[in-house]
Amino acid sequence: MSDTIKELVHEEPWRVGQGRPRNILDMSWDPNSWVVCDGEVVWDKDGVWWYCPKCGHCSRWSQTLHYRAEHPQDSYNRNIQFFYKRRKEQGVSDEVAKLQALHIAGLALKAAAMLPPGELAKFINERLMVE
């Protein structure tokens, strides 16, 4: 089962918190978005990886206290709101900000589509501010 959870994490890196703002140095940091999950974890047969059926978070650390996994739609919404807020502060119209956001999302999706699913976490780390 360890390979199954490991493969899941490579295909769905948000399950380990990939891409979330980690601290106040990230301008999109929101301390209210870090909610501790009270779900019971399920360990793999080797005792290396665990999975929380309640929120979907995965980890290989012995500490099972974890923050709720952020669903990709929530991450997208948070980042889009952050983008619009920053563009408004810079005097950009709503229509232009919307077109810019769509253009950036399209380019990022195109670049990510060229990679195998297991390389998604590497793509995020190399191109986006995540720490």
Handedness of CA 85, 73, 27, 29 (dihedral sign): positive
Tens digits of residue pLDDT in 16-31: 887 787 777 877 777 7
- The token duo for 3 is 């390979």
Percentage of the chain lying above the pLDDT 90 cut: 31
Q: Give the chain's domain count.
A: 1
Tens digits of residue pLDDT in 80-130: 999 999 999 999 999 999 999 999 999 888 988 888 877 877 787 777 654
Domain that holds residue 51: 2-127
What's residue 71's pLDDT? 85
Of the candidates 18, 10, 27, 123, the one whose C-alpha atom is nearest the C-alpha of residue 75 is 18
Tens digits of residue pLDDT in 50-64: 999 999 999 987 889
